[in-house]
Amino acid sequence: MRFLLDAEQRAFAASLDAMLTSADTPSAVRAWAGGDRSRGRALWSRLADAGVFALAVPEAYEGVGQLPVELALAFVELGRHAVPGPVVETVAAAALLSELGDLGVPGPAERLLPRLASGGSVATLASAGGFALDADAVAVLLVVEGDSLRLAPGHGPVRASVDPARRLARPEPGGELLAAGPQVTRAARRALGWARLATAAQALGVGLSLLDRTVEYVGQRTQFGVPVGSFQAVKHRLADALTVLEFARPLLFGAALSMAPADVAAAKVTAGEAAYTTARTALQLHGAIGYTAEYDLSLWFTKARALRTAWGTPAECRAEALAGLSGGRPRR
């Protein structure tokens, strides 16, 4: 299948890229990791004004309609610029609430979705016993427990993940029961697909940024009087990284078109592995400077590691993709 973006979609992606380029996202990421949310929240508001979060919300709840292709485009740019915050989790929460509304449980959707679409509220979503991303930075902390959905009253101690800008905490028990029954299970499964799609797109953007930064670096760094980028071995490593990233791109947009769980799982594992492979190449070609937290490369390197397992490990996503090919169900 050949997938071509139309002029409006390309313009949307270009506008996000221009906006984020001017926003000094590395400073916002470092501030977010240190607990200062002001720059991240300002960035969130600009993304909301651009309609990013409305892409996961139906028009009935003040969104622009659920548009997975446009959402994937947006999240590639969010990954390219290492935007901090629970951006994927807000999309997952919106997808879950939207599905509940479609399944005859409109109350939580009517109450929460308009503010998620407008950027007025930030949400995160967790499963029972699991960690919630950036729980200390959100107004809406949703927890899926079996066939029930609750609004958690708070969270426990916060800790960093492999990515210092991704802060994790366990939701506190109790809170308000929003919905219960098989509709919650179905809605949670739908939300998982949207979360994996957004994560895959974000990972692809991270990988593309790592590649661009590495190409620029090896073109400037010299050894034996010539740029190291002129060495054949370096060219081969960069070509390999470009190949895996470009292989992930059509899988991502194919999954956005179908939203079939197996397609989304395949896109997620492929993009995640491509970003991780590119991160390792970038680290090797940058040498010792790539290991320092002060160097901006680390912001993308750690994010690639975290996104690789977020919303499904590579093994889980491969199992689901293979099950989809065989018409079966993934092994647990």
Report pLDDT digits (tens) over 18-45.
Answer: 999 999 999 999 999 999 999 999 999 9
The pLDDT, as a whole number, for residue 297 is 95
- Tokens 């190449």 label which residue? 281
The pLDDT, as a whole number, for residue 233 is 95
Q: Angle at CA 134, nearest 5°, toward 305 and 272?
A: 25
User: Looking at the predicted structure, is the pLDDT value of residue 332 above 80?
Assistant: no
The pLDDT, as a whole number, for residue 160 is 84
User: Looking at the predicted structure, is the pLDDT value of residue 1 above 80?
Assistant: no
State pLDDT tens for residues 218-234. Answer: 999 988 889 999 999 99
What is the percent of the chain with per-residue pLDDT over 90, rounded to a whole number? 90
User: Looking at the predicted structure, is the pLDDT value of residue 59 above 80?
Assistant: yes
